[in-house]
Amino acid sequence: MYKNISSENLLVSQVVGTLRNKETEPAEFRFNLQKLGTYLAYEAVRYFDWIEEKVETPLGTAEVRMIRDNIVVVAILRAALPMAEGVINQFSRASMGVVSASRGKMLKEGGKDFRIDVPYINIPYLDKSNVAIIVDPMLASGSTMLFILDHLYQQKPKRIVVLSAIASEYGIKRILEKHPETIILTGAIDKELNEKGYIIPGLGDAGDRAFNT
């Protein structure tokens, strides 16, 4: 399933608008990526399992709901780093993994598919007690995300949630056709990809804009 969070959350829509603005400076861009990660983490917990526990207050005992799942946050380097920080800061016991991935040769005309080069990957082992949160600001053709999902689903995690700032309709469709159990939460959904596989109107290259390169 997938959900466009900005359609129902004005704060998310406002942050996405700041990220889209070509005048947004790198420091502000990174700050808003981090904020978006925080907001999307709040949405992601709707799909987590919980357990009821009792805690002692200064005046008595209270029943509270606590997250039951073990959480692994997976950041796709480098653009996802600020956004992933906003996510992992909400889960005090979460683990973190990283994937260094870049586009290689275009495999399908119109920017619809790419070979993915992954020189480095380090992700804690997942099993049926783990929920993986994959963070990637731009879900464009879906090639990178499919590569990572194929890798992670082999480990049989309990659930996988994908968080993005902006996703293309094509990328969402492509992922859900192969892995329909995946939950995709995104700040906005755009219809078009250009011939190089960039989302239109999108926000440009998130990594370049975040790190001023």
Alpha carbons 13 and 96: distance in angstroms, whole number: 27
- The two tokens of residue 64 are 């509270």
The candidate with the shortest Cα–Cα distance to 195, out of 114, 137, 76, is 114
Within the chain, where are the H helices? 10-20, 26-44, 81-88, 143-153, 169-178, 206-211
Q: Specify the pLDDT at position 153.
A: 95
Distance CA 91, CA 101 (A): 25
The CATH number of whichever domain residue 54 belongs to comes to 3.40.50.2020
Give residue 201's pLDDT.
96
CB neighbour list of residue 46: distance below 8 Å, 6 or more residues apart: none
Write out the residue range of the structural domain in which residue 78 sits.
2-211
> Nearest CA to 189 among 163, 167, 205, 171?
167
User: What sign results for the dihedral spanned by CA atoms 53, 92, 139, 145?
Assistant: negative
**pTM (2 d.p.):** 0.93
What is the token pair recorded at 181? 């159990």
The tally of domains found in the chain comes to 1
The reported pLDDT for the residue numbered 108 is: 77
Tens of each residue's pLDDT in the chain, 213 residues: 999 999 999 999 999 999 999 999 999 999 999 999 999 999 999 999 999 999 999 999 999 999 998 999 999 988 899 999 999 999 989 999 999 988 878 777 777 888 888 899 999 988 888 999 999 999 999 999 999 999 999 999 999 999 999 999 999 999 999 999 999 999 999 999 998 889 999 999 999 999 998
CA angle 48, 140, 97 (to 5 degrees): 45
* Residue 173 burial (CB count, 10 A): 11
Angle at 161 between CA 103 and CA 182, to 5 degrees: 85
